[in-house]
């Protein structure tokens, strides 16, 4: 009987030790996600007849160095986004698919702009945190 109790105690102890070691490995493997809000929000005229878009944008970045590069080149970054956003018809951005396509294009444009001005890239994703078109 004592042998069974000791064996059960040993198994419980060793399994908890191995579980704790696994948790540390999982925590170390999770990369840090860095977000950068672009302020102020963007308001642009759209192509066509009297439509506009107002949006707030946050960027998901690969690392903190990219954050510094974006801040240092803020005028070029904002210009590239204004040109991209204003070059759309309202019909193209009112659907979910249109907005997702615009997100992808914006990430590409920002990475191209960063390559040109800062010799780097690292915008993983463009997130619209506010999106109003009229």
Q: Where would I find the H helices in the chain?
A: 2-29, 64-72, 74-86, 90-93, 96-118
What is the pLDDT at residue 32?
A: 84
What is the pLDDT at residue 95?
A: 94
What is the pLDDT at residue 30?
A: 72
Q: Identify which of 56, 59, 55 has the alpha carbon closest to the alpha carbon of residue 35.
A: 59
Sequence-ordered list of residues with C-beta below 8 angstroms from that of 128, at least 6 positions apart, any chain: 55, 56, 57, 99, 103
Ranges of the chain whose pLDDT falls below 70: 1-29
Burial label for 131, CB within 10 Å (0-12, 13-18, 19+), is middle
> Computed over its alpha carbons, how large is the radius of gyration of the chain?
24
What is the pLDDT at residue 31?
A: 76
């Amino acid at each position: 009987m004592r042998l069974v109790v000791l064996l059960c105690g040993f198994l419980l102890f060793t399994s908890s030790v191995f579980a704790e070691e696994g948790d540390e490995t999982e925590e170390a493997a999770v990369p840090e996600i860095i977000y950068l809000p672009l302020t102020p929000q963007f308001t642009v005229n759209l192509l066509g007849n009297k439509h506009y878009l107002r949006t707030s944008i946050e960027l998901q970045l690969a690392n903190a160095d990219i954050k510094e590069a974006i801040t240092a080149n803020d005028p070029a970054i904002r210009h590239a986004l204004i040109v991209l956003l204003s070059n759309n018809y309202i019909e193209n951005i009112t659907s979910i698919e249109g907005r997702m396509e615009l997100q992808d294009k914006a990430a590409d444009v920002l990475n191209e702009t960063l390559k040109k001005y800062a010799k780097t890239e690292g915008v993983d994703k463009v997130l619209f945190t506010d999106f109003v078109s009229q």
